[in-house]
Amino acid sequence: MFEDFLETDGQREKFRSIANRLLNSCFIVKNKQGTNKESRSDYFFIMQHKKEFNDFFEMLNYEVLYDEIQCVIGLKNLQGTGRIQLNKIESILLLILRVLFLQKKNDLNQQSDDIVVTMQEINDKYATLDVKNKPNLDKITEINFVRLFKRFNLIDNLDRDVNQSDARIVIYPSILMAVPVENVNSYYEKMESRLAQYKGDVVNGTESDDEEVPDETSIG
C-alpha cells in the first residue's frame, strides 16, 4: 500500500525530495557526469518503487516514463499542459542536439557511452540553417541554452567557459525521451526534416518567435 510505503519519516522525506526533483527537471538520468551520485541514487530509488511513483504522479495527471535501456526516467503531462515555452532559436538548438546525439551514437568510432560534442559542432550545425537575422549564435545565446537544457538534465557542460569553440557538451539520452520512435534511423531522418523547416526562417525577437514546442521537440 502507498500509505505503508510512506510510514517512516525517512521514506516520506526521500520520496518527497525525489518526486520534487523529477517534477522540476522532467528527467532523471542514471549516468550523469561528475562526482555527484544523487541522480544515480534517485534513479534506483524510483525503479525500486515504480508503483508508488506511478500512483503518486497519476494523481497529478502525469505519466512516469521508463527507459531502462538508456537508463532514463521522465515525466509526461497527460493533459498536455505545463510544457516549457521555447523560442525559435531554443527549439532549433534542441533539435540540433538531438541530431548530433544520433550522429555520434551511429558513429562507429564512438568508443564511449558518453555522447560528447563541442560548441563548435553545435555552431556549425546551426550555421547550415542560414537563419535570417541570426545566422550565427552569439555568446549570450550559447550560455542561455546550456543553462536551460542543463536544468532539465538534457545536457551538461564539461568545461566552465561554454563560449570556447572547443568547449565540450555532454548530451544525455533524455534528449530522445520526448518522442517514442521505432528505430534510430527513422528518428534521425525526422529530426533532419524538422530542422530543414527552419532553414532560412526569420528570427527577429518578436512575440511570434515564441512557440510551444510541438510533440517532437517538447520538454515535459
Same domain, 23 and 43: yes
Same domain, 174 and 190: yes
Same domain, 163 and 187: yes
Q: Where are the alpha helices (DSSP H) in the chain?
A: 2-5, 9-25, 38-48, 50-59, 88-106, 119-127, 139-151, 184-196
Same domain, 67 and 16: yes
Contact predicate 28/73, CB 8 Å: yes
Q: Per the structure block, which three cell numbers stand in for 176?
A: 530522445
Same domain, 72 and 89: no
List the beta bridge partners of residue 65.
74
pLDDT less than 70: residues of the chain:
1-7, 34-36, 81-83, 108-113, 178-192, 194-195, 200-220
Same domain, 69 and 92: no
- Structure confidence at residue 32 (pLDDT): 85
CA angle, 70 then 20 then 3, to 5°: 100
Same domain, 68 and 106: no
- Structure confidence at residue 48 (pLDDT): 93
CA angle, 56 then 59 then 65, to 5°: 60
Q: Per the structure block, which three cell numbers stand in for 137?
A: 549564435
Give the residue from 29, 49, 77 where a domain finishes. Answer: 77
Same domain, 128 and 64: no
Q: How many domains does the chain have?
A: 2
Give the residue from 49, 77, 105 where a domain finishes. Answer: 77
List the beta bridge partners of residue 168.
118
Same domain, 69 and 89: no
CA angle, 51 then 55 then 16, to 5°: 90
- Structure confidence at residue 73 (pLDDT): 96
Distances (CA, A) of 42 to 30, 35, 67, 189: 8, 14, 14, 33
Same domain, 163 and 212: yes
pTM for the full model?
A: 0.81
Backbone phi, then psi, for 44, in 5-degree steps?
-65, -35
- Structure confidence at residue 207 (pLDDT): 37
Residue of 140, 151, 149, 77 whose CA lies nearest to 117: 149
Give the residue from 77, 103, 128 where a domain finishes. Answer: 77
Same domain, 192 and 112: yes
Same domain, 202 and 128: yes
Instruction: Write out the residue range of the structural domain in which residue 154 sits.
Output: 85-217
Q: Per the structure block, which three cell numbers stand in for 12?
A: 516520506
Taken in order 177, 178, 180, 185, the sign of the CA dihedral is negative
